[in-house]
């Protein structure tokens, strides 16, 4: 019956049923089939949801909405562009690096895509980049927001897995930076022989000191955001929840008075939209958590481990099989839902294999990120198609190249070289994971 419930969940997701109702439907099916009273789930659900860590989610949603509408992305793009925009593939690298910086502010892949993508897509088109390459690059780059902290996905993992939020943030820094470098490298080779790509003229590239300082001053309020947020968290001055609150408060005057990208009416509309999004997310978390709770009670993680070890006792082959499962999950659902499903089921499995939970946080983050851009479902790929005004057919080849030469190497290195994920948490927190 457990397998049937998982198949039911996958079917509901594929046919387009909203994610909270998919989990709720699968949960009700299991309750009905097993003959259990739903009363045993209520205390567990209440205790899990009554956690202060979850306050990070609405705060990051508010911050992401304000950042997206407040023209903060424009300042970041201009700042990065003045350094590497003059090179032939420089504008593609600007896209990747700006998404990484923007992700360190918003913590949301969709907010990064809609904000940075809407700015960079016309710029890339104007410079002669093929539509398919630029749109697929935007799709892959926006997912850096799931890896570069602070990440709302890692907040959910820490909450669902009972781990340190700060340690989970630090675990994804190495994979995020590696992926940033690899995406810049791959897009360079993708466009190096493309005819018609324009570069910045030497006169425009050689900015005088006054112009450089002007652009830098304009970008400083945006650049200070990750410094304040991450500096506060890593120095111990702020908890992740407090940092999320500071981010939400800080971006209001920056968007209203400095960049003047929104007015009070638009700010209020952003609050209303954020409240609706928060309600949806919390409903999804509750339904996903209840479904996962039933699977754990039914000892599904133990059954899964026994099934995998029946094929092989090799730890690395088992990790490879689990990676395939996680990529498929990432293809079917958003990162939050994927984390809520995979964490309770797979965390007990990998810990019995000797994998650190903090290391698994990075593995899961890379897997779900790659799933978001992996055909045939690839939610971020379709979103980028709309933002970049590019047919999905033109995006498939460059997207597969980015997956093959950037995402998969990052996943392999993250999985089989744990120090990439564990070195920074051990260095900063002084704890062996």
Q: What is the pLDDT of residue 206?
A: 52
The residues, any chain, with a CB within 8 Å of residue 158's CB and separated by 6 or more, are 53, 164, 165, 167, 168, 361
- The tens digit of pLDDT for each residue in 395-423 reads 999 999 999 999 999 999 999 999 999 99
Q: Treating both helix axes as pointing N-terminal to C-terminal, what angle do 264-297 and 56-69 enclose, rounded to 10 degrees? A: 140
Split at pLDDT 50, 70, 90, the class of 22 is: confident
Please name the residue that has the structure tokens 């439907």. Answer: 25
Instruction: Report residue 62 CA to chain centroid gap.
Output: 16
Q: Say whether pLDDT at 204 is over 70.
A: no
Structure tokens at 20: 């909270």
Split at pLDDT 50, 70, 90, the class of 241 is: confident
CB 199 within 8 A of CB 86: yes
Structure tokens at 373: 């851009």
The residues, any chain, with a CB within 8 Å of residue 317's CB and separated by 6 or more, are 311
CB 343 within 8 A of CB 163: no
Split at pLDDT 50, 70, 90, the class of 29 is: confident
CA-wise closest residue to 93 among 31, 140, 47, 53: 140
Q: Say whether pLDDT at 433 is over 90.
A: no
Please name the residue that has the structure tokens 């799933």. Answer: 371
Query: Which carries the bigger pLDDT value, residue 402 or residue 251?
Result: 402
405 secondary structure, DSSP code = I
Give the Cα separation of 247 and 229 in Å (integer).
7
Please name the residue that has the structure tokens 């590497």. Answer: 84
Radius of gyration of the chain (CA): 22
Mean pLDDT to the nearest integer, 330-350: 85
The answer to which of 36-40, 120-124, 341-345 has the lowest mean pLDDT is 36-40
Split at pLDDT 50, 70, 90, the class of 148 is: confident
CB 12 within 8 A of CB 287: no
Split at pLDDT 50, 70, 90, the class of 321 is: very high
Q: What is the pLDDT of residue 36?
A: 64
Q: What is the pLDDT of residue 412?
A: 96
Q: What is the pLDDT of residue 38?
A: 66
Q: What is the pLDDT of residue 420?
A: 95
Q: What is the mean pLDDT of the chain?
A: 84
Give the Cα separation of 39 and 170 in Å (integer).
38
Split at pLDDT 50, 70, 90, the class of 152 is: confident
Q: Say whether pLDDT at 229 is over 90.
A: no
Q: What is the pLDDT of residue 1?
A: 64
The answer to which of 302-306, 333-337, 406-410 has the lowest mean pLDDT is 333-337
Split at pLDDT 50, 70, 90, the class of 37 is: low
Mean pLDDT to the nearest integer, 290-303: 81
Q: Output the CA–CA distances (angstroms, integers) from residue 175 to 30, 77, 149, 359, in the order listed.
A: 37, 23, 11, 11
The residues, any chain, with a CB within 8 Å of residue 186's CB and separated by 6 or more, are 401, 402, 405, 406
Structure tokens at 187: 């897009």
CB 101 within 8 A of CB 286: no
Q: Say whether pLDDT at 183 is over 90.
A: yes
Give the Cα separation of 152 and 141 in Å (integer).
17
CA-wise closest residue to 69 among 124, 114, 107, 117: 114
Length of the chain: 433
Helix, strand or coil, per DSSP, at residue 341? helix
Q: What is the pLDDT of residue 126?
A: 84
Q: What is the pLDDT of residue 208?
A: 59
Q: Say whether pLDDT at 40 is over 80.
A: no
CB 77 within 8 A of CB 120: yes
Number of domains in the chain: 1
Structure tokens at 314: 């090799």
Domain hosting 35: range is 2-429
CB 336 within 8 A of CB 372: no
Helix, strand or coil, per DSSP, at residue 196? coil
Q: What is the pLDDT of residue 351?
A: 93
Percentage of the chain modeled with pLDDT above 90: 26
Split at pLDDT 50, 70, 90, the class of 133 is: very high
- The tens digit of pLDDT for each residue in 41-96 reads 777 666 777 777 788 888 888 887 887 777 777 777 778 777 776 677 788 898 99
Structure tokens at 78: 């201009």
- The tens digit of pLDDT for each residue in 369-385 reads 998 898 877 788 888 88
Identify how many contiguous H helices and E strands the chain contains and give both numbers.
23, 0
DSSP assignments along 235-261, one per residue: HTSS-HHHHHHHHHHHHHHIIIIIS--
Please name the residue that has the structure tokens 């907040």. Answer: 155
- The tens digit of pLDDT for each residue in 354-366 reads 999 999 999 999 9
Q: What is the pLDDT of residue 110?
A: 78
53 secondary structure, DSSP code = G
Give the Cα separation of 209 and 203 in Å (integer).
13
DSSP assignments along 262-326, one per residue: --HHHHHHHHHHHHHHHHHHHHHHHHHHHHHHHHHHTTHHHHHHHHHHHH---HHHHHHHHHHHH
């Amino acid at each position: 019956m457990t397998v049937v419930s998982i198949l039911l969940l996958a079917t509901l997701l594929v046919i387009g049923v909203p994610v909270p109702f998919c989990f709720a439907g699968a949960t009700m099916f299991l309750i009905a089939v097993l003959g259990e009273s739903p009363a045993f789930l209520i205390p567990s659900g209440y205790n899990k949801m009554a956690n202060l860590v979850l306050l990070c989610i609405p705060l990051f949603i508010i911050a992401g909405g304000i950042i997206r509408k407040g023209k903060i992305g424009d300042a970041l793009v201009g700042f990065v562009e003045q350094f590497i925009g003059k090179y032939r593939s420089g504008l593609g690298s600007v896209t990747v690096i700006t998404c990484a910086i923007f992700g360190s502010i918003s913590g949301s892949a969709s907010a990064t895509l809609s904000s940075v993508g809407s700015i960079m897509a016309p710029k890339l088109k104007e410079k002669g980049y093929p539509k398919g390459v630029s749109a697929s690059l935007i799709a892959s780059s926006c997912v850096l927001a799931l890896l570069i902290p602070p990440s709302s996905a890692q907040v959910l993992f820490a909450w669902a897995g009972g781990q340190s939020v700060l340690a989970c943030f630090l675990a994804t820094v190495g994979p995020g930076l590696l992926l940033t470098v690899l995406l810049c490298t791959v897009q360079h080779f993708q466009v190096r022989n493309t005819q018609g790509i324009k570069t910045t003229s030497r006169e425009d590239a050689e900015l005088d000191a006054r112009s450089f300082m002007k652009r830098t001053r304009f970008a400083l309020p945006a650049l200070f955001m990750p410094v304040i947020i991450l500096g506060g968290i890593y120095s111990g001055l702020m908890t992740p929840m407090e940092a999320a609150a500071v981010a939400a408060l800080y971006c209001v005057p920056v968007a209203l008075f400095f960049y003047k990208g929104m007015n009070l009416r638009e700010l209020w509309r952003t609050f209303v939209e954020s409240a609706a999004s928060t309600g949806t997310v919390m409903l999804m978390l509750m339904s996903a958590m209840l479904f996962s709770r039933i699977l754990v009670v039914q000892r599904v993680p133990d059954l899964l481990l026994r099934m995998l070890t029946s094929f092989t006792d090799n730890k690395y082959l088992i990790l490879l099989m689990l990676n395939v499962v996680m990529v498929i999950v990432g293809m079917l659902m958003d990162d939050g839902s994927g984390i809520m499903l995979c964490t309770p089921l797979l965390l007990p499995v990998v810990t019995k294999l000797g994998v650190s939970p903090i290391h698994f946080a990075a593995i899961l983050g890379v897997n779900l990120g790659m799933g978001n851009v992996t055909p045939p479902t690839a939610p971020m790929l379709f979103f980028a198609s709309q933002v970049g005004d590019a047919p999905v057919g033109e995006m498939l080849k460059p997207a597969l190249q980015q997956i093959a030469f950037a995402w998969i190497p990052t996943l392999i290195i993250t999985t089989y070289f744990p120090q990439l994920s564990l070195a920074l948490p051990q260095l900063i927190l002084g704890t062996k994971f």
